[in-house]
Structure 1
Amino acid sequence: MKQAERSLEELLVLRAQAGDSRALDQLVRLRGPRLLAHAMRLSGRADDARDIVQEAWIEILRGLHGLREARAFAAWATRIVTRRAARFVKGNVARRALSAAVSVETETSMPDVGEAASDARAVRKAMSSLPPDQAATIALFYLEDMSVAEVAIALDIPRGTVKTRLMHARAKLKDALKGACDE
């Protein structure tokens, strides 16, 4: 997320906390797709991800006035989605395993045509082979442009765990992409 978008998001949070319903609507439109992509990575199914995010928004809206720092909104909201997704997955363990839950097909930041599309497909394929915890960490760090501290808050894990997951995921991606380039 670019600095201008982060600043806009921070302003929208402050205005929403002050009771501006239009700002709240804009905030949902700005952050909503990112939260949905995160839920999709964790749940593996679009319908489940939408349900998770819908429930998360209820919790986000209820807790918004208690958020002390508007700049922490992205990590805070992502953490709520992470916890909602964990509860959802835990409640549906009998139906499917979390290991099948990673999908980065919903990412809109990757091109659809040309040589870049081939590279994007290779990256998506490599990311889909990562364990869910590593895929979520990589996506938040690189695709959502969150810092290590923000990812730690979003996933409710220690910073050291974020760094370890990034290290292992990078190694796996490097090997997977090296294999894709050799073909």
Structure 2
Amino acid sequence: MRANNNIDKELVEAYLAGDKTALATLVKRWHKLFCDKAYWLVKDKDVAKDIAQDSWTTIIHKIDKLKNPNQFKYWAFRIVCNKSTDWLRQQTKNQKRIIGYDMEIESREGHYSKDQIQKQILLEAINALPTNQNEVVKLFYHQDYSLKQISELLNISVGTAKSRLFHAREKLKNT
């Protein structure tokens, strides 16, 4: 893992020094993984590709602010996760009234079971969580990451990951 971090560090430093091929190499190394991560979150291949591309735009514009080039992987994945979460939040916002209205009509007509409605409400509640809690819940429950793995991926302490998961659970209990 350190070897990969050193490669990323060297590429970031080379790009910042003016080597445009270093950026192309970073893109080759990470673009597919960014698309995969975005797809895991948004469940739409085309949107995932757009998010990955938008993430690269942000990465290019802000790479000079990256304090530790060894942390490129975590920093860049954070950007992809944030962009994905922003997209999901916007979709939820746009569709919340429509979904609620449709579910109410379908429920009256008997098309949705009580379990389906509860699952949809839970999903909406998870999507409504603050970004940092939403990510931890999805990584912990959907991708079965351990708290240690989550802390490494998001570049936070294990205690912070536990705290975010705890607070997310508390909010979901009140839903």
Q: What is the TM-score with the length of structure 1 in the denominator?
A: 0.58
- 1:8 deviation in Å? 1.3
Equivalent residue number for residue 53 of structure 1: 52
Among candidates 152, 155, 160, match of residue 154 of structure 2: 152
Q: Is the 8 A contact 2:139 2:150 kept in 1?
A: no
* Higher normalized contact order (CA 8 Å, seq sep 6+, divided by chain length): 1
Q: Shift of residue 165 of structure 1? A: 8.6
**Contact 2:55 2:79 survives alignment (8 Å):** yes
Structure 1 residues 32-111: aligned runs within 5 Å: 32-93=31-92, 94=95, 99=123
Change (3 A) 1:4 1:152: closer
Are 1:132 and 2:132 an aligned pair? no
Find the aligned partners of 2:91 and 2:150 in 1 and give their Cα distance. 30
Aligned pair in 2 of structure 1 residues 61, 137: CA closer, same or farther (>3 Å)?
Answer: farther
Runs of 4+ more than 6 Å apart = 95-98
Change (3 A) 1:62 1:31: same
Q: Give me the whole-angstrom Cα distance separating, in 1, the residues matched to 2:11 and 2:138.
A: 31
Whichever structure has more helix as a proportion of its residues is 2
Give the unaligned 5+ runs of structure 1. Answer: 101-130, 167-183
CA displacement at 1:6 relative to structure 2: 2.5
Larger Rg over CA atoms = 2
Match of 1:178 in 2: none
Give distance in 2, aligned partners of 1:158 and 1:3: 19
Tell me whether 87-96 or 43-52 shows the greater mean CA deviation.
87-96
Cα distance in 2 for partners of 1:77, 1:136 equals 19
SS at match of 1:92: helix
CA displacement at 1:158 relative to structure 2: 5.9
What is the TM-score with the length of structure 2 in the denominator?
0.60
- C-alpha distance in structure 2 between counterparts of 1:50 and 1:70, whole Å: 24
**Residue pair 2:42, 2:88 contacting (<8 A) in 1 also:** yes
Q: 1:30 & 1:137 partners in 2: Cα distance?
A: 25
Structure 2 residue aligned with 1:27: 26
CA distance in 2, matches of 1:54, 1:75: 17
- RMSD across aligned positions (CA): 3.2
Structure 1 vs Structure 2: percent identity of aligned residues? 27
Distance 1:77 1:34 in 2: 11
Report the residue type matching 2:90 in the other structure: G
How many aligned residue pairs are there?
127
Question: For the residues of structure 2 that align with 1:159 and 1:63, how far apart are their CA atoms?
Answer: 27
Aligned equivalents of 1:99 and 1:74: distance in 2? 28
Aligned twin of 1:3? 2
